[in-house]
Amino acid sequence: MKFLSVPNSLALIPDGNRRWAKAHSFSILDGYSLGVKKFIDFSEWCKDYGIRNLSVWALSSENLRRHSGELNALFSIYRRVCKDKGIIGRLEENNVKVNIIGNREIIPKDLYAMLKVVETRTENNTGGVINMLIGYGGKDDMMYAARNMADMAKRGEEITESAFQGSLMSSSIPNIDFIIRTSGEQRLSGFMPWQTGYSELYFSKKLWPDFTRKDLYYALADYDKRERRFGK
């Protein structure tokens, strides 16, 4: 079924990997690994519906307070993904550009370097965009822009809304039309505060590894019925 309206820019908060692993007596590593594979599928489902700009919160700055063993497991998965010819091949086949967004100072240097290789390899793709937010926090993003604004003020430059937006760590991401968060959590946790002021929200009770193409259909069907007024 085709929808009358689909979001131009969709953001995903894929919550519930750890709970899924525990419920199925799997390791946290297995839960996160399946979650990453599910996201690749999800990106292709979105493309089938005509969604060209997809953002995913892969790791928040607050997540870095978790146990080192869990973080190391997650980092190892991302390293593996960066070297996975099958996954990279799917990105190339789908003509998708990958943007890496976040604080490079708070993730392992070797991992950041590997992620940037993927970004560089896909930079000329034109079939869609995946914004991968890793080591990202909304407050950090606003502070980053504020420091840039302070430097602009010192130089006597005009402080405008567009200038502030351009100073964000996440400046390349457009305003988000639709946010999906899984696992029943009903909050944004500081996710992209600048771009989400008028975002439509959808909270799925499914844990992320259990989320299916049909669940995306239900979410988009719900979005299609909404009237967006943007304060008017």
- Residue from 221, 223, 216, 218 nearest 42 by CA: 216
Non-local CB neighbours of 103 within 8 Å, separated by 6+ positions:
61, 135, 136, 137, 140, 169
- Output the CA torsion 218→223→226→231 (10° steps): 150
Q: What CA–CA distance (Å, rounded) separates 103 from 133?
A: 9
Q: Which of 186, 180, 172, 171 is nearest to 199 (CA)?
A: 180
Active-site residue, 94 included: no
Nearest to 141 by CA among 107, 162, 170, 105: 170
Among residues 15, 140, 141, 177, which one is catalytic?
15
Query: Which of 8, 63, 94, 99 is an active site residue?
Result: 63
Verify whether residue 84 is a known catalytic residue.
no
Q: 97 with 125: CB under 8 angstroms?
A: yes
Residues tagged active-site: 15, 63
